[in-house]
Each structure stands twice: as C-alpha cells, then as structure tokens.
C-alpha cells in the first residue's frame, strides 16, 4: 500500500479523464504542468506514477492524459506550449515525430532517434529518450542472470522497438532479427543500424508470416513484442501460441491492468514472460529526474503504479 502523503494526495489528484490540447483546464497557480501524449492514451497509468513522484518530492504538479491522433502532433505542439506545459511524455505513435520536432536533443535521443520525454526550457523543446535505459533496468530486475540477451527477435520496428533495437548492440546482444507488419519499416531500421554496428552484429529482416516466425523463434533467446497488439481487448496474439515454449523468454512492451494476452499465454506454455509495466516505471522515473533535477522516489512511484495496475510490488 502507498504511504500516507502520496496516497492522500493521489486520491484527490488523479482522474481517468482524457483531454485534448484545447480542452485542458486552466493551469493551477504555482504548479508544474506535465502530461502524456499519444493515441490511444486512455489506458495510461503514467499520471498515477508521476503524481506520486512529484508529491513525494514536495512539488505541486499536474499530469494529464492528452489524446493526439496520428498525424496531429505538429499542430498540437504549439497548443501544448500555449496551455502551459512544462514537459510531457510521448507514447504511440509520436516518438519518432517528436524527435523531428525537438529543438535540442539529448545524447539518448540522438542514439535512439526517438523522443519520449520533452522538457520545455525557456520556450524551447528539449527532447530525450528514457525508453532504452528504462527497458534495460526493467530487464535487470526481472532476469538479472540472463543478460545480455544473445539472440533477440524484435516484433515491431516503430517507436519503442526502434529505440530498443538501436540499444541492443551496446549491451552485448549477439544477433537481432526484425519482423514488422510493414516490411519497409523493418528494412529502414536495418539500414539505420548497419552503419552503427558493421559486420560485428548480424541483423536479419524477415516478412511477417508463419514460416518466418517458426524459424526465427526456434533460434531466439528473447522475444521482444513492440507492436501495438495487446492494447485492445480484442487484439490477437502477435505470434501463434504453439511457437512459444521454453527456454524462450518473452518481453511484451505493452502493459494492461492484469496480464497481457501474450504474457498469459507464454506463461501457460512454460515460458518466462513479463509485460511493460516495469519498463514504464523506470522510463517514467528517469523522465521525472530530467524534469525535477532530483533522484526519483522510485519506491513511491512503484507502489502507486503497481497498485493502480492491480499488481503486487
């Protein structure tokens, strides 16, 4: 359970409301203002976690879910600035476009070619990416004796998948296979990675079909699911369940209240599997550190997030 100060503040500070850049309420006097932008964004648990963190730091802050459809980011950014946001997190489908729109890029954003954390500094948009480090910290918590993942299969080459792919060679991964529903996006990522890794890091691109899935998973230590499949209740499994078996480990970057379908089925099939809740925690804590300039109160943020998700910490 959450401790007193954070829990009392959260009871009055978090709503399930989803806003647009033009429907945000007036900014509270003296408060910092943040949000998470994306589409869909109604499911996001970021507000609970971030507001708990700010409360523990003794800072009055607002944090909103802000729906911005695909293709609408460039028009929305000036409206976010007009609404007084001091920064925001980006989720699907805006991370690549936010990189393009950022005026100052951190080293992490340049490595990822993606932005999930924006800080507004004297009216300028500073972009960073905490996804890769957040993912790495989450993996070190759940599988400390199984890192680095040697043979990795990545499903999904946009946003977070692209960021993780650019990070894998630096942590000792030995090979990477890319499968994307749009094969051109996988080929584009392959071309981006090749100059960075040369011949020392084999990268294979396969079309999204059953024979390729079968072959790739038979030669894989870690499956990273980085598509949007799983966000909706009716979404199908991204891979046929008969292809999931030990010693394969499965990491689903999607999270839901309760297990994602992929995580549930993978565990039923005997695989070690985790969803993206731990990644959300760690990338969110890193975002808070960028905004506040202080160490994030990780324990408080974890308690708030996992309680909201109906999980044990």
Cα(263)–Cα(261) distance, rounded to whole angstroms?
Answer: 6
Q: pLDDT at position 159, please?
A: 83
Same CATH topology for 4-130+278-308 and 132-276: the answer is yes
Instruction: Starting at the earlier edge strand, list the strands of the sheet with 61-67.
Output: 18-19, 61-67, 32-38, 87-90, 117-121, 124-128, 104-105
Share of the chain above pLDDT 90, in %: 80
As a CATH number, domain 132-276 is 3.40.50.720
User: CATH second-level architecture of 4-130+278-308?
Assistant: 3-Layer(aba) Sandwich (3.40)
Q: Which pLDDT tens digit goes with each residue over 262-292?
A: 999 999 999 999 999 999 999 999 999 999 9
Cα(137)–Cα(131) distance, rounded to whole angstroms?
Answer: 10
Q: pLDDT at position 270, please?
A: 98
The residues spanned by each domain of the chain are 4-130+278-308, 132-276
Predicted structure pTM score:
0.91
Burial environment of residue 11 by CB neighbours within 10 A (0 to 12, 13 to 18, 19 or more): exposed
Of 5, 27, 28, 95, catalytic = 95
Query: Does 6 score more than 70 pLDDT?
Result: no
- How far from 146 is each of 104, 125, 221, CA to CA, in Å? 36, 38, 10
Burial environment of residue 277 by CB neighbours within 10 A (0 to 12, 13 to 18, 19 or more): buried
188 tagged catalytic: no
């Amino acid at each position: 359970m959450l401790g007193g100060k954070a829990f009392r503040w959260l009871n009055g500070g978090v709503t399930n409301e989803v806003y647009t850049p033009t429907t945000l309420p007036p900014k509270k006097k003296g408060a910092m203002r943040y949000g998470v932008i994306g589409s869909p964004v109604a499911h996001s648990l970021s507000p609970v976690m971030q507001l708990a963190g700010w409360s523990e730091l003794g800072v009055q802050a607002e944090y909103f879910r802000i729906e911005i459809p695909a293709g609408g980011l460039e028009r929305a950014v000036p409206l976010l600035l007009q609404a007084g946001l001091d920064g925001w997190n980006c989720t699907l489908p805006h991370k690549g476009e936010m990189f393009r729109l950022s005026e100052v890029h951190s080293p992490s954003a340049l490595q990822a070619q993606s932005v999930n954390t924006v800080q507004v500094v004297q009216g300028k948009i500073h972009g960073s990416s905490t996804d890769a480090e957040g993912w790495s910290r989450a993996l070190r918590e759940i599988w400390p004796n199984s890192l680095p993942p040697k043979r990795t299969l990545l499903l999904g080459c946009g946003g977070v998948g692209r960021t993780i792919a650019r990070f894998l060679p630096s942590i000792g991964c030995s090979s990477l296979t890319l499968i994307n529903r749009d094969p051109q996006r996988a080929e584009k990522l392959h071309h981006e990675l090749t100059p960075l890794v040369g011949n020392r890091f084999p990268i294979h691109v396969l079309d999204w079909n059953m024979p390729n899935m079968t072959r790739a998973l038979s030669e894989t230590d870690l499956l990273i699911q980085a598509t949007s499949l799983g966000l909706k209740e009716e979404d199908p499994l991204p891979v046929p369940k008969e292809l999931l078996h030990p010693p394969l480990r499965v990491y689903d970057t999607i999270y839901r209240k309760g297990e994602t379908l992929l995580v549930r089925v993978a565990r039923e099939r005997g695989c070690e599997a985790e969803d993206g809740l731990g990644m959300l925690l760690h990338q969110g804590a890193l975002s808070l550190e960028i905004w506040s300039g202080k160490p994030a109160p990780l324990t408080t943020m974890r308690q708030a997030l996992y309680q909201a998700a109906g999980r044990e910490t």
